[in-house]
């Protein structure tokens, strides 16, 4: 998103009760792209690249399509959308007055195909006008075009983006908005309705307008775009032309989509019938390196957040761990994904054994952030220690369950243990760090839970005996120190310890205590008092954060008094990640209780199923395409990153735990832990 786009949205969205002006939202529309180019198809059919974090190329910044019949243009507006046939092919149905036009979009590697079919076609000639605004290397200025007869090349320096069609192509160009238009009170139209009579206009612009005929008994045609970096021009032109010609009908598009899904997504037939929807969402966010963005970047100017189009090691490692648990239970054939995650973590580990705040997924290089205290000189609490612990917990489980012989992962894990130790204080709790929600510093219960889980997982891993023994001893220290965070007045654990005082607010991230104690239960005893406290804590937290407002949704808030992104709303918004986390924590605690003959196992089984239903396909918090947005307003309007990867992965793991386990009865032992924790 360039500045002109942000300013235009700012003008359109000012005063809206749900929108934050100047953002590039993906809360409506659907994405295509199971490789490393990610293209958003809006309800009006316009396509926009969200590709840079995943591929290193920027591509289409904005676009628009029109049906042209007898020289009359019908610019497409709101259409009806769906995915086709278990693929990442997006179908958009446009009502174009007397005609219905179906649009099919598919992104394969760095190529994007947009196919149009005109139903009940006119006797007159019909064509599609496409207006693309590119941003090679993220630039809106100093961009030029080359017109290659039947193809267009838009370029700045090393990134060169190409357009071709399956039928004859006519080309014109247009300059972006002038300063006067950007400063005007009303947003500028796109495409603009006039030019400036400048002879160089068509060649010194990121915007190209192309028109191509719809041909055949059922008029149809395809436009293709290709993003390249340092590619040979002749080869690139041949690829984009060949792609458009090879996909000039609906069936060829759908078959390409089915082939891509078979190649990129594992067999979803084992275990869970609904898992394809979550795996597709996670694959959309995945780079060729195996790393994932947290969600599509909707706030590139950091106007209301720090951005989302990056790899956070917390989100990514938690997703990796949940996918591993799912795979171990259902044999979903995700081995390549697990191995890619392990390699990426080994590649990006810092010298002190920790991981930075966030990186670019396409190359692992440091990305802008605000929690890189371990990279900066001097002491700082601006470090998110739970990220390192989450990576360590995944690597330990990977080493134990997938590839015990991987020496590089073993070395990475041993270094990670040292990195975790560096933040553990003498009292057995992590020191002052940033929290999981990235908006506070202190000594957090969630951070302690991730330390407990990481230490216990390392103690179980096939590492050197002295390493395992040290990790086990550290887990015992953290386990004991958690008593210092207990609030007897509220029957729950505190959010944090700050300046010697306990912060009594309920915090959804403390739900991590359930899985942490279940991991610890594999190396030591969770005593009866701790079991009771965990039950009380989870009950208090789930009840205290649960919201059922007047409207179509219900679920869990992030923490008590959460003030973020409320607009006109007065109560904290419902978050999908905390709702899914609540379901997972309830199921984890169910299994911990069952393994220890605790009488409340069935109670938490029921609670887990109730919460999971909210984020399951068809649940109240799902949106078109099966997406889980990060958060929702009380009237059901989605907000922030959409889809957000983390809750999709939690949903998969929790559903697999419920589907593969025997029914739990109160006070009856189930005979052991679920597969993911063996």
DSSP string, 104-138: EEEEETTEEEEEEEEET--SS-EEEEEEEEE-GGG
- Pair type for strands 358-359 and 90-96: unpaired
- What span, in angstroms and rounded, lies between the C-alpha atoms of 462 and 404? 6
Q: Is the pLDDT of residue 233 over 60?
A: yes
- Give the pLDDT mean for 203-218: 94
Q: What is the pLDDT of residue 163?
A: 98
Q: Is the pLDDT of residue 267 over 70?
A: no
Instruction: Label residue 613 by pLDDT band (50, 70, 90).
Output: very high
Q: Is the pLDDT of residue 197 over 90?
A: no
Average pLDDT of the chain, as a whole number: 94
Share of the chain above pLDDT 70, in %: 95
The CA-atom distances, in angstroms, between 201 and each of 173, 208, 232 are: 7, 10, 26
Q: Are 653 and 275 in contact (CB under 8 A)?
A: no
Phi and psi torsions of 633, nearest 5°: -75, 165
The CA-atom distances, in angstroms, between 160 and each of 174, 498, 641 are: 18, 52, 28
* Nearest CA-CA partner of 84 in 100, 72, 97, 102: 102
- What span, in angstroms and rounded, lies between the C-alpha atoms of 324 and 397? 8
Question: What are 298-326's pLDDT values in tens digits?
Answer: 999 999 999 999 999 999 999 999 999 99
The CA-atom distances, in angstroms, between 316 and each of 358, 362, 443, 460 are: 10, 14, 23, 22
Q: Is the pLDDT of residue 98 over 90?
A: no
**CATH code reported for the domain at 28-263:** 2.70.98.10
Which ranges of 555-643 does DSSP label H, i.e. alpha helix? 576-595, 601-615
Q: Are 100 and 120 in contact (CB under 8 A)?
A: yes
Question: What are 586-601's pLDDT values in tens digits?
Answer: 999 999 999 999 999 9
* Nearest CA-CA partner of 316 in 384, 377, 417: 384
Other Cβ atoms within 10 Å of 366 Cβ, number: 14
Phi and psi torsions of 653, nearest 5°: -65, -40
- What span, in angstroms and rounded, lies between the C-alpha atoms of 401 and 462? 10
Q: What is the DSSP letter of 268?
A: T
- Give the pLDDT mean for 562-574: 96
Q: Domain spanning 265-677: which CATH class is it, in words?
A: mainly alpha
Domain ranges of the chain: 28-263, 265-677
């Amino acid at each position: 998103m360039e500045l002109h786009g942000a300013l235009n949205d700012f003008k359109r969205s000012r005063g809206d009760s749900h929108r934050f002006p100047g953002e590039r939202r993906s809360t409506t529309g659907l994405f295509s792209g199971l490789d490393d180019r990610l293209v958003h198809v809006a309800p009006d059919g316009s396509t926009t690249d969200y590709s840079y974090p995943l591929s290193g190329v920027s591509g289409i910044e904005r676009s628009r399509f029109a049906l042209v019949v007898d020289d009359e243009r019908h610019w497409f507006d709101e259409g009806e959308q769906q995915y086709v046939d278990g693929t990442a092919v997006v179908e958009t149905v446009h009502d174009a007055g007397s005609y219905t036009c179906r649009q099919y979009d598919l992104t394969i590697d760095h190529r994007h195909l947009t196919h149009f079919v005109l139903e009940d076609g006119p006797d007159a000639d019909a064509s599609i006008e496409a207006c693309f605004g590119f941003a090679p290397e993220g630039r809106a200025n100093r961009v030029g075009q080359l017109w290659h007869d039947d193809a267009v090349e838009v370029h700045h320096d090393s990134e060169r983006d190409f357009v071709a069609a399956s039928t004859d192509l006519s080309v014109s160009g247009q300059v972006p908005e002038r300063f006067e238009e950007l400063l005007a009170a009303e947003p500028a139209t796109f495409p603009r309705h006039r030019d400036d009579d400048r002879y160089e206009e068509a060649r010194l612009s990121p915007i190209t307008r192309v028109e191509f005929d719809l041909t055949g008994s059922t008029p149809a045609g395809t436009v293709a775009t290709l993003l390249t970096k340092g590619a040979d021009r002749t080869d690139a032109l041949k690829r984009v032309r060949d792609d458009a010609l090879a996909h000039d009908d609906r069936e060829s598009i759908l078959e390409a989509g089915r082939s891509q899904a078979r190649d990129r997504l594992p067999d979803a037939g084992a275990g869970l019938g609904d898992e394809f929807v979550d795996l597709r969402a996670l694959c959309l966010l995945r780079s060729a390196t195996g790393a994932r963005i947290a969600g599509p970047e909707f706030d590139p100017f950091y106007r209301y957040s720090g951005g989302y189009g990056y790899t956070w090691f917390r989100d990514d490692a938690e997703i990796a761990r949940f996918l591993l648990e799912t795979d171990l239970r259902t044999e979903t054939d995700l081995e390549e994904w697990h191995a890619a995650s392990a390699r990426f973590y080994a590649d990006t580990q810092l010298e002190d054994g920790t991981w930075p705040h966030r990186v670019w997924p396409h190359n692992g290089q440091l990305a802008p952030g605000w929690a890189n205290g371990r990279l900066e000189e001097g002491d700082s609490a601006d470090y998110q220690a739970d990220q390192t612990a989450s990576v360590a917990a995944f690597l330990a489980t990977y080493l134990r369950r997938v590839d015990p012989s991987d020496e590089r992962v073993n070395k990475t894990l041993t270094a990670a243990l040292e990195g975790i130790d560096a933040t553990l204080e003498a009292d057995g709790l992590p020191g002052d760090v940033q929290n999981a929600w990235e908006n506070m510093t202190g000594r957090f219960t969630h951070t302690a839970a991730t330390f407990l889980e990481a230490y216990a997982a390392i103690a179980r891993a096939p590492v050197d005996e002295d390493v395992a023994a040290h990790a086990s001893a550290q887990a015992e220290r953290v386990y004991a120190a958690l008593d210092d965070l207990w609030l007897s007045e509220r029957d729950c654990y505190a959010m944090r310890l700050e300046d010697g005082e306990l912060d009594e607010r309920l915090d959804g991230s403390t739900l991590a205590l359930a899985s942490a104690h279940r991991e610890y239960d594999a190396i030591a005893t969770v005593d009866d008092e701790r079991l009771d406290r965990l039950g009380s804590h989870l009950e208090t937290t789930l009840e205290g954060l649960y919201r059922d407002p007047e409207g179509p949704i219900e679920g869990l808030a992030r923490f008590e008094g959460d003030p973020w992104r409320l607009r006109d709303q007065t109560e904290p918004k419902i978050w999908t990640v905390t709702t899914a986390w609540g379901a997972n924590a309830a199921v984890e605690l169910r299994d911990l209780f069952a393994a220890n003959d605790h009488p409340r196992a069935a109670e938490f089984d029921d609670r887990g199923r109730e919460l999971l239903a909210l984020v399951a396909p068809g649940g109240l918090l799902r949106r078109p395409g099966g997406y889980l947005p990060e958060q929702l307003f009380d009237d059901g309007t989605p907000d922030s990153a959409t889809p957000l990867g983390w809750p999709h992965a939690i949903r998969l793991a929790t559903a697999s735990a419920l589907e593969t386990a025997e029914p739990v009865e109160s006070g009856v032992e189930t005979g052991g832990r679920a597969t993911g924790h063996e």
